[in-house]
Amino acid sequence: MTREEYGSAYKRGFNLTVRFLVSRGLSYDSAQETAQAAWVKGWERLSQLRDSHMVLTWMNSIALNIHRSCVRREPFFQALPELSIPPKVNLAAIDVRRILKTCKKNDRIVLERHYLEGYKVQEIARAHGWSETAVRIRLLRARRAVGKRFAA
């Protein structure tokens, strides 16, 4: 795809990408910013586009992934009501802390990132320079080890 073809695809598709994002629940301003970021990322990675007829679908996928990444990374602030009674002990948190203390360092990192922070296997692998298969195997082995330790 040439520079001119991408430019004309941008002119035709930018507003469609914005409307797609609005239909997914974004505000109009956020949708415009996300769509702009997606089209820039698409231009940077244009060599990865396999079929130039699918550029709009490709851009919508990039835009949706950018939105999901932003949602996952943004802290969610919510006003908490004042509690009149002291909080109860969170037994699940105690169990999780105890389980994670017994794990090896890399296993603990993978378990925390995947189950507590919600990262995908691909994101964990990319962040630590591991292969996706290595992350999956590490998750499997960590789950098995935890299961054996705490089954009794």
pLDDT of residue 66: 92
Query: What is the chain's length?
Result: 152
For residue 84, being part of any structural domain is answered with: no
User: Per-residue pLDDT tens for 20-50?
Assistant: 999 988 899 999 999 999 999 999 988 888 8
pLDDT of residue 94: 83
User: Per-residue pLDDT tens for 43-83?
Assistant: 998 888 888 888 999 999 999 999 988 888 777 677 777 77
Which residues form the domain of 110? 91-147
State whether 68 and 96 are in the same domain: no
Single residue among 12, 41, 73 that ends a domain in this structure: 73
Asked whether 99 and 150 are in contact (CB, 8 A), the reply is yes
State whether 42 and 101 are in the same domain: no
For residue 51, being part of any structural domain is answered with: yes
For residue 33, being part of any structural domain is answered with: yes
Percentage of the chain with pLDDT > 70? 97
For residue 58, being part of any structural domain is answered with: yes
Asked whether 59 and 45 are in contact (CB, 8 A), the reply is no
pLDDT class of 152 with cuts at 50, 70, 90:
low
| pTM of the predicted protein model | 0.48
Q: Is the pLDDT of residue 103 over 90?
A: no
Q: Is the pLDDT of residue 100 over 80?
A: yes
For residue 152, being part of any structural domain is answered with: no
Overall number of domains in the chain = 2
Mean pLDDT of the chain: 87
Taking alpha carbons only, the member of 3, 70, 5, 58 closest to residue 31 is 70
For residue 105, being part of any structural domain is answered with: yes
Query: What is the gyration radius of the CA atoms in the chain, in angstroms?
Result: 22
For residue 57, being part of any structural domain is answered with: yes
For residue 83, being part of any structural domain is answered with: no
